[in-house]
Structure formats: C-alpha cells, structure tokens
C-alpha cells in the first residue's frame, strides 16, 4: 500500500508537458500545475485541496479554473475522477491500474495493487467492451480501527 504522504519526485515539467501535448492539450500554466499536483501526490485530493495547495505559488488561481481544468484533464484521460459514495469528488493523476480502499470513517483513499486473478467476467462473449475498470473497497482503515479499539465510546 502506498503511504498517503508519499510524494512522487519523478514528476518533471518536461514529462507533464509532453503528456498534455500527447493528449492534444495546450500545456497552459494552469493545466501543468493541476496535473503536476495530481501526479506528485497520492492522496486523491478534492478540487478544493488542489486549489489550496497551488494557491501559494499561484495567488490568482480561482477555484473555477481548477474545476474546469480538472474536467478537461479527465475528458482527455490524463486524470481519473473517483466516484466515491457519500464523498466529494476525488481526483487521481496515477493512471497505472490500481484499486482503491476508502475508509468510511475518515474518508482517506488508499491505493491498492490491482490483483484480479481469473475471476473476470468474459466481457467479449457478453458483447461488452470495457473502457476502464475501477474497483473500490469500503471499510475502516487501520488508524480508525485502532481509534475504535482504544476509545470504544468515542465515536
């Protein structure tokens, strides 16, 4: 499991720029910043979190711009938007196939390795074409389980 606080140091402006260009997008300052933030962090941030992280370097950046930029990046397939029940929309800049565990208590989203075994449906014979797959597991994370054990009345 990748730690929430892990930071990906391999994100260079050059790589971000070529990813945008390859997707047919102009590498504007805003797009580079938003995509960069998502590739750098593993915390599946909300649009608001991205906005507040970028604000110190980009004081004129509006929330609307962040929302619009995220929409464009999602449509271009450079960013995944996660559909998490009962939560704000979260975004993921890591496109390697991986699954998610969402803590229903603290709301943290953990990355899990993508392991499927042989239990996949035979999509072809069903006449279905899969464009993306996303599996989410819900439950209590280690921290929240510990908190509950230490403090059973404290919920």
Number of H helices, E strands in the chain: 6, 5
Q: Is 6 in the site for Zn ion (CB under 5 A)?
A: no
Using CA of residue 115, residue 8, residue 24, residue 66, what is the dihedral sign?
positive
Give residues 124-153 in contact with Zn ion (rule: CB under 5 A): 141, 144
- 58, 76, 105, 147: which one binds Zn ion (CB under 5 A): 105
Beta carbon nearer to Zn ion, 32 or 84: 84
**How far apart are CB 154 and Zn ion at their closest, in Å?**
14
Nearest to residue 28, comparing CAs of 18, 40, 17, 39?
Answer: 17
Q: Is 111 in the site for Zn ion (CB under 5 A)?
A: yes
> What letter does residue 103 receive in the DSSP assignment?
E
Stretches 57-65, 84-92, 117-125, 126-134: which one binds Zn ion (CB under 5 A)?
84-92
59 and 33 Cβ atoms separated by less than 8 Å: no
Binding site residues, Zn ion, CB under 5 A: 92, 103, 105-106, 111, 141, 144
């Amino acid at each position: 499991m990748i730690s929430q606080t892990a930071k990906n140091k391999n994100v260079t402006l050059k790589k971000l720029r070529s990813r945008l260009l390859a997707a047919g997008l102009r590498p504007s300052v805003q797009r580079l910043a938003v995509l960069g933030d998502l590739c750098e962090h593993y915390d599946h941030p909300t649009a608001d979190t991205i906005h507040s992280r970028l604000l110190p370097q980009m004081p004129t950046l509006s929330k609307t711009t962040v929302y619009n930029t995220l929409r464009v990046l999602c449509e271009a397939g450079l960013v995944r938007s996660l559909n998490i029940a009962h939560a704000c929309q979260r975004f993921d800049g890591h496109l390697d196939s991986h699954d998610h565990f969402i803590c229903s208590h603290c709301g943290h989203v953990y990355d899990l390795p993508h392991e499927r075994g042989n239990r996949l449906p035979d999509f072809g014979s069903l006449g279905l074409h899969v464009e993306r797959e996303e599996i989410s597991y819900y439950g209590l994370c280690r921290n929240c389980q510990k908190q509950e054990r230490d403090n059973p009345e404290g919920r």
